Amino acid sequence: MENWDDLKFVLAIANAGNVTKAAKGLGVTHSTVSRRLSALEERMATRLFERLPEGFVPTAAGAEAVAAAKRMEAEVLALDTRITAQDAELEGPLRITAAQLLFQVQLAEIMQQFAERHPRIELQMVAANEKLSLHRREADIAVRVTDNPGETLFGRLATGQNRCYYMSRDFARKHRDILETSHASAPLPCVTFKWWGQGVPKDIRSRYPSAFISLVADDMIALVAAVKVGMGVGRLPCFLGDPDPDLIRIPGMEPSRYLDIWVLTHPDLKNVARIRAFLRFAADAFKAWSGLYLGA
């Protein structure tokens, strides 16, 4: 194997299970990954993957190549982390990842204020609903909505959160009779989130036994949009529902606890000047606006 970079393609295919996803993860085209794999297999005179209907499965030779690629990746990441950990200057790149909603509501403003204080730090915004790996150095800092930030990460609790049920003002007018009568028998449309499980949420069902699901959303931005156009009542974090002039809370339903917001990094990078500075700055900024997240 003359080109060690080929192992990066082998590992990407093994992790992704197919060429298309591997190409996306590597930031190259499908044909590039396919071509590199075919050329490598031809040079080594052996197949590294079985092309099966369910995806690419490593052969015995492929499994050895994948194992070697994982060892090399671990060494490179460890070296990168050790070198970065020696950086004591308030300058250089800083990649921050969070869900799109957090950037939209407050995090973009936090980054703007931080950039004004530290113009030599090159901020990068990585908006992703999936969790990027801090151990694989896919980002330097992650702002996460979670009650389990992980024992292998270092960070600060930025703020707690609450959530409540909201509806549009027009929806409230149309369904006034149902909403004003506890245990109403009339059906109440309800918008829910894919990851909450099946059926009407328990606290809605106990108050409105005839409530039904009018829409299931797989994205919080889509759920907010559905509630705003009057498709039903929906449970939202208070930081989304309360500031929106088109939304109001369902009368008589109090906020309940939601997941915390944490600002996290790799433990070996906690003393890097630019990372330490942003951890403190962002956590303090979120804490200053805790009333927004708690629905105070």
Q: What is the pLDDT of residues 236-283, one digit of tens each?
A: 999 999 999 999 999 888 999 999 999 999 988 888 889 999 999 999
User: What pLDDT score was predicted for residue 183?
Assistant: 56
User: What pLDDT score was predicted for residue 268?
Assistant: 85
Q: Is the pLDDT score of 98 beyond 90?
A: yes
Nearest alpha-carbon partner for 190 in 174, 176, 173, 208: 208
Quote the Cα angle for 108-111-114, to 5°.
Answer: 155
Side chain identity at 82, as an amino acid letter? R
Q: Is 25 helix (H, G, I), strand (E, B) or coil?
A: helix
Q: Provide the percentage of residues in the chain whose pLDDT is more than 90.
A: 50
Side chain identity at 124, as an amino acid letter? Q
Q: Is the pLDDT score of 88 beyond 60?
A: no
E strand or H helix that includes residue 241: helix 238-241
| C-alpha to C-alpha distance for 122 and 95, rounded to whole angstroms | 8
Which region among 73-87, 127-141, 199-213, 246-260 has the lowest average model confidence (pLDDT)?
73-87
pTM score of the predicted model:
0.69
Side chain identity at 283, as an amino acid letter? A
CB 97 within 8 A of CB 155: no
| C-alpha to C-alpha distance for 256 and 261, rounded to whole angstroms | 15
Q: Is 103 helix (H, G, I), strand (E, B) or coil?
A: helix
Side chain identity at 128, as an amino acid letter? A
Return the residue matching tokens 């909403």: 179
| C-alpha to C-alpha distance for 131 and 136, rounded to whole angstroms | 12
User: In residues, how long is the chain?
Assistant: 296
Q: What is the torsion angle, in degrees rounded to the nearest 10, for the CA atoms of residue 238, residue 242, residue 243 and residue 245? A: 150
Per the structure block, which two tokens stand in for 210?
A: 């005839």
How many angstroms separate the most distant Cα atoms in the chain? Answer: 75
Give the residues across from 97 on adjacent strands: 126, 142
Q: How many C-beta atoms lie closer than 10 Å to residue 227's C-beta?
A: 28
| C-alpha to C-alpha distance for 228 and 234, rounded to whole angstroms | 10
User: What pLDDT score was predicted for residue 59?
Assistant: 93
Q: Is the pLDDT score of 185 beyond 80?
A: no
Confidence band, pLDDT 50/70/90 cuts, at residue 151: confident
Q: Is the pLDDT score of 2 beyond 70?
A: no
| C-alpha to C-alpha distance for 235 and 213, rounded to whole angstroms | 13
Mention every residue, 6+ apart, whose C-beta is less than 8 A from residue 77: 135, 136, 137
Distances in Å between the Cα of 72 and the Cα atoms of 82, 84, 94 are 15, 18, 24
* Integer-rounded Cα radius of gyration of the chain: 24
